[in-house]
Structure 1
Amino acid sequence: MEVVNSIPHLSAEAVKNHEAWFPGYVSTVKQTDPELIEVFDNFAFDEILNHGNLDTKTRIMVTMASTIAQHAVAEYRMMLRAGLANGVTPVEIKEVLYHSVPYVGIAKVIDFIGAANDFLTENGVKLPLPSQSTTSPEDRFEKGLAVQKEMVGVEMIDNMYKNTPGNQMHIQRYLSANCFGDYQTRTGLDKQMRELLTFSMLVSLGGCESQVKGHIRANINMGNDKQKLLDVVTQLLPYIGYPRTLNAIACLNEIIPEQ
């Protein structure tokens, strides 16, 4: 029996938004799986993009961070295309990657470094990019601890150091010097965006609810309110699925109950 592929019935809004994200891109999946494209694109590029108040650049960057956390290299390449077409700079592309290392791990991120380098080189960007580091081996702990206290809270960090057993204190110091000192102090992205990216990666990883709650508090400290975090979760829904989305919302409602 001959199978005839049908043409997806895409809304005008979905077509317009997809073209804005991926100019000139023609999906091969549209030819082989038209029903899936119809459902997904109408949802992700019409309903989802018309919900909330995130600008396009923020939507792309948090989705980019989510694909790294999920080790979704093919989708990440699509987000690179979308990013460059919508104002995400090469420095910002690299900083999203570097920022993901302490949260996702280099074992995953290294594949994305290669993908990003190939993409940037193909688009005429000379590598390496200018350094965004602001610390040295001598001051990374001190500067990292200061940023950690600013983002998480002085009392909470002081209590963490006070209550950590001696045989685990090295991890606390690594958090201050490495996670915050080496990465969070970098330029190229502001603290608000870095916390949105962290939140996006943690909810996309799954199984990180304790850390998600901690970074909800950090987001609030950096000026990202509950509605903005809900908008981020909504943006990520088509890419992470409902279970992780609902887990993220449960964390949000626990830390910031509805009035």
Structure 2
Amino acid sequence: MNNKIAVILAGIFLSLLNFTSISQAQTTNIQDLSAKQQGIVTIAAFTANGNLEKLKTALNEGLDAGLTVNEIKEVLVQMYAYTGFPRSLNGISTFMTVMEEREGKGIKDELGREANPLPAGKSSIERGTEIQTQLVGAPYKSQLTFFAPQIDQFLKGHLFGDIFGRDILDFQSRELATISALSSMEGVNSQLQSHFNVGFNVGLTEMQMRSLISVLEANVGKKEADNATAVLNKVISSRAR
């Protein structure tokens, strides 16, 4: 009888060890992104999926983690290019409410710096073409841009020239926001795949990408995280060839 009890206790002990190891691995995985980066991920995700109650929590947590007011504004403005004006405007409106509530509690948040003026002597399209080439890793060519050249001008001139050209956020932060938003939406895996590639191009590591997905799983949902994992694995496989 004593031997049976010893075997059972040993099994329970090993199970606890395995559970602890898994929990520690998951915690470490998330912590590969800084608290500020995790804030960007959740703010972008809840702006994209329209969950404004959870967005309020994410905005408060982002401010508490050290994101400045202007950095968060920049994330919310950038979201319109990927989620549409309605979601972006709802996000900005929610942020206004959060700021009013925090000010009412006597909380003073850091405003942060304004963006430096965009370089003179180049048009938005010229500047955006350079930035897009840097992000993609080569001059961007697509059947879409031949079929609808106007969208190519808007992408280069407005998205990459006017928005990504603003230096409040670095490219890694912008890609964390974009990947998170796309991961939280349905039917955009093609764009998500492209931005995982861009994430690698701007210096994000595989561990950071997987950390982003861990944040999504913990805060947004397993369905979204599983889909993002599948897309990331496809990207990693294609880049290894």
TM-score by length of 2: 0.78
| Matches of 1:67 and 1:164, distance apart in 2 | 29
1:178 to 139, 142, 158: 158
Residues 145/110 of structure 1: CA separation in 2 closer, same or farther (3 Å cut): same
Residues 55/98 of structure 1: CA separation in 2 closer, same or farther (3 Å cut): same
Which residue number in structure 1 is paired with residue 137 of structure 2? 153
Kindly provide the amino acid, as one letter, of the partner of residue 231 in structure 1. Answer: S
Following superposition, the deviation at residue 98 of structure 1 comes to 1.2
Which residue number in structure 2 is paired with residue 51 of structure 1? 29
Following superposition, the deviation at residue 118 of structure 1 comes to 3.0
User: Within 5 A, what are the aligned runs for 1:1-259?
Assistant: 49-52=27-30, 53-121=32-100, 122=103, 123=107, 130-131=114-115, 134=118, 139-155=123-139, 157=140, 159-160=141-142, 163-164=143-144, 166-257=146-237
Residues 48/60 of structure 1: CA separation in 2 closer, same or farther (3 Å cut): farther
| Matches of 1:125 and 1:133, distance apart in 2 | 24
Structure 1 unmatched runs, 5+: 1-44
Is the 2:56–2:94 contact (alpha carbons within 8 Å) kept by the matching residues of 1? yes
| Matches of 1:126 and 1:253, distance apart in 2 | 38
Is the 2:114–2:168 contact (alpha carbons within 8 Å) kept by the matching residues of 1? no
Deviations 1:63-119 (A, max 9, x none): 111111111111111112112212111111111111111011111111111121233
TM-score by length of 1: 0.73
| Matches of 1:186 and 1:150, distance apart in 2 | 15
Kindly provide the amino acid, as one letter, of the partner of residue 220 in structure 1. Answer: F
| Matches of 1:93 and 1:183, distance apart in 2 | 14
Following superposition, the deviation at residue 240 of structure 1 comes to 2.6
Residues 113/98 of structure 1: CA separation in 2 closer, same or farther (3 Å cut): same
Is the 1:135–1:181 contact (alpha carbons within 8 Å) kept by the matching residues of 2? no
Larger radius of gyration: 2
Matched residue count: 211
Following superposition, the deviation at residue 48 of structure 1 comes to 5.2
Higher fraction of helix: 2
| Matches of 1:135 and 1:100, distance apart in 2 | 23
Kindly provide the amino acid, as one letter, of the partner of residue 149 in structure 1. Answer: T
Over the residues paired in the alignment, what is the CA RMSD in angstroms?
2.8
Is the 1:133–1:182 contact (alpha carbons within 8 Å) kept by the matching residues of 2? no
Identity of aligned residues (%): 27
Residues 226/50 of structure 1: CA separation in 2 closer, same or farther (3 Å cut): closer
Is the 1:145–1:180 contact (alpha carbons within 8 Å) kept by the matching residues of 2? yes
| Matches of 2:235 and 2:210, distance apart in 1 | 13
Deviations 1:12-62 (A, max 9, x none): xxxxxxxxxxxxxxxxxxxxxxxxxxxxxxxxx998544342221211221
The one of the two structures with greater contact order (alpha-carbon pairs below 8 A, sep at least 6) is 2
Structure 2 unmatched runs, 5+: 1-22
Which residue number in structure 2 is paired with residue 4 of structure 1? none
Displaced runs of 4 or more, over 3 A: 45-52, 123-127, 129-133, 163-167
